[in-house]
Amino acid sequence: MRKGEKGIFVVMAISIVVLIGVKIYQNSKNEGEDPGIPFYSTANKEVKDGAAKVMHFVECKKCHSIWGMKDFSQSVPAPSLDGMGMFRTEEWLYDYFSSENPQEMLTSRLKPEYRMPSLTHLTDDERKVLAKYIFSLKVEDWYLEETKQARYEKLTGNKYNNEAAKIK
C-alpha cells in the first residue's frame, strides 16, 4: 500500500468512528424527548381482525379518528377512539352499539346526520367483537390527561376545565 492510500484509509476510519459516535450521542439525547405513540391495543389478532372488518363496513373513520387518523374528507367532531377503553367498559360499549337510539345513552350536541348511528343492523357477534376491540384501545398514563381533555371538548363543544370534566 502506498503512503497516500494509507492516509485515505486512516481518514475514512476516523470519519466512521466519529459518525458512529455522533449517532450514539444523538440517540441517547433523544431518549425522554420523544416518548413515542401513546396509544395501544390489548386485543389479540382474532379480535383485531374481526373488528377491522366491521369498522371498515360501518366506516367509523368517516367520523372518528383511530390510531391518530381519520378520513380527511370528513369533519364530524366525534371523539377519537384512541384510548376509549380508559373511559368505557366493554359492557357499556356493547349496549351502546346494540341500542336503537344511542343518544339515549350519550346525548349528542350535533345535527342528526353527524350523530353516532345505531348499529343494530350488525349481528350480535359483530357488536360483541367491536365492543371487545374498542375496550382494548388504551392510552399510556402520560397522555391520559390530554386524551380526556380532547374527548371532553369533542363531546361538549366546550373548553375543558377541571371542575366541569365529568361526562356521564
Beta bridge partners of 41: 137
- Closest contact distance (angstroms) between CB of 160 and ligand HEC is 13
Stretch near ligand HEC under the rule CB under 6 A, chosen from 20-28, 39-47, 71-79, 156-164: 71-79
Q: Binding residue for ligand HEC (CB under 6 A) from 43, 47, 78, 129?
A: 78
Q: Which of 45/111 has CB closer to ligand HEC?
A: 111
Work out whether 129 is an interface residue with ligand HEC (CB under 6 A).
no
Binding region for ligand HEC (CB under 6 A): 54-55, 58-60, 62-64, 76, 78-79, 81, 84, 87-88, 93, 103, 106, 108, 110, 114-117, 130, 134, 151, 155
